[in-house]
Structure 1
């Protein structure tokens, strides 16, 4: 089988010095397309470099993460546009809203998010959104602004079923990460079991969102998620959704192609 990863961070310093081996292992595991999400102008150059080195595998994505908004003035907006011009196949994100972080600057977060949202709507770009403890805030903004025709992605979705139903009406996709296979995340799995399969994607969010040990055939360190764990995550989710892994992966790859506009295939 072939697999697609809707959200990860190969540019992360925790992968430094290992990236070539990691990418080789990803390919050997059957991963044929992934979206590498930048989080600020500080790591966008590395995302760009990786996409240029591995164009058959990596789709680049550029965004300002809400955790990074306190550290960047408005010059990031012009820089973002420059990276989009360099990479016509690029996506937007990771961006979003976060009230879980300590002392969030809501105004700065909202301004940054709305810039991404307007750009995604104008250019109909795939948009990857991070949200923690800000679901009502997010829905209010989405309901009152233009949205990309292709929809948008809630990465590592951990919200309620009621919230998901509201987001579905607005065009949302939802990605499942391996961390949600832990015993205490049964509620999240129950939500995904009730979502339409044509709106679900798989992700690792590597090097974060590390799955439980039984779903971690590839180890880097205790708290570092290897991107090649994706097939095991797919197997785990298929068990909880009471479907075959082959059926699930077929849906995930079709959804990936529909949302990102990129076909995953063995080159």
Structure 2
């Protein structure tokens, strides 16, 4: 990809990542190198204390997002929801999630448990005016129905790869879409990604440290009318629009 940056441009954010597993910094001062700021999502309540500790240590570089992944939705309890609310009160910039529904995972969590968990996340996000990070695999019908019933203040659809007909309904819910190297390197995803407005796109690593610059480069390559310098400015603005509680997307 000649003409595209070989190093991470200063100020590039990572819209979706996770704690390393097992959690360790590998001798580094900062466990998410390369990104100017990272939205770090929890998968289950056991992650929350570690994530909160890191967010206190690096308030300028980590935006935590507390939630229970649909893979763990069957373990959610009232105690967890109370703790989630307390963490959001402590961290005014924090998001909710990752949450949503997944019909492909085996063994599959019962749909009833996934729906209940998803609805609870959305209710808390609405109460606290927070963005929601959405995970959806083969479950767009029930997910879009629930979003219509409980629209979040702002939404990040992570690992977006279509279908394109769902873009308009999601944009209605103030959605941004993050894409990583896996989607950007898959030609079958390109039409779905190109169908998105640039002001709603963000790069992600999904926990694979080192994948931020390839994601940024591939994103630039899909929209060749927009130079990398323009993309960097746009991505920073998109990231702020998602994470700032005071901003409501048009």
Structure with the bigger percentage of helix: 1
Aligned-pair distance for 1:18? Answer: 1.5
TM-score in terms of structure 1 length: 0.82
5+ long unaligned stretches in structure 1: 207-224, 263-267
Partner of 2:100: 96
5+ long unaligned stretches in structure 2: 1-8, 246-250
Alpha-carbon RMSD: 1.8
The runs of 4+ residues in structure 1 deviating greater than 3 Å are: none
Query: SS at 1:64's partner residue?
Result: coil
Partner of 2:77: 73
Partner of 1:132: 137
Structure 2: distance between partners of 1:146 and 1:32: 30
Alignment counterpart, residue 45 of structure 2, candidates 33, 41, 47: 41
Is the contact made by 2:68 and 2:97 (CA closer than 8 Å) also made in structure 1? yes
Aligned-pair distance for 1:104? Answer: 2.6
Is the contact made by 2:73 and 2:109 (CA closer than 8 Å) also made in structure 1? no
Aligned-pair distance for 1:69? Answer: 1.4
Aligned-pair distance for 1:101? Answer: 1.4
Q: Could you list the per-position Cα deviations for residues 1-45 of structure 1 after superposition, in whole angstroms to 9, with x for gaps in the alignment?
A: 320111101x2324524163554x72xx4x211111111111101
Structure 1: distance between partners of 2:193 and 2:159: 11
Aligned-pair distance for 1:158? Answer: 2.0
Structure 1: distance between partners of 2:220 and 2:25: 33
Query: SS at 1:246's partner residue?
Result: helix
* Cα pair distance change 1:180/1:22, threshold 3 Å: farther
Structure 2: distance between partners of 1:44 and 1:3: 25
TM-score in terms of structure 2 length: 0.87
Structure 2: distance between partners of 1:58 and 1:133: 30
Structure 1: distance between partners of 2:22 and 2:230: 33
Query: Structure 1 stretch 125-134 or stretch 170-179: which is displaced more?
Result: 170-179
* Cα pair distance change 1:19/1:172, threshold 3 Å: farther
Is the contact made by 2:160 and 2:183 (CA closer than 8 Å) also made in structure 1? no
Spell out the pairing of 1:50-199 with structure 2 (5 A cutoff).
50-102=54-106, 103-148=108-153, 151-182=154-185, 185-199=186-200
Aligned-pair distance for 1:120? Answer: 1.4
**Corresponding residue pairs, total:** 234
Partner of 2:216: 234
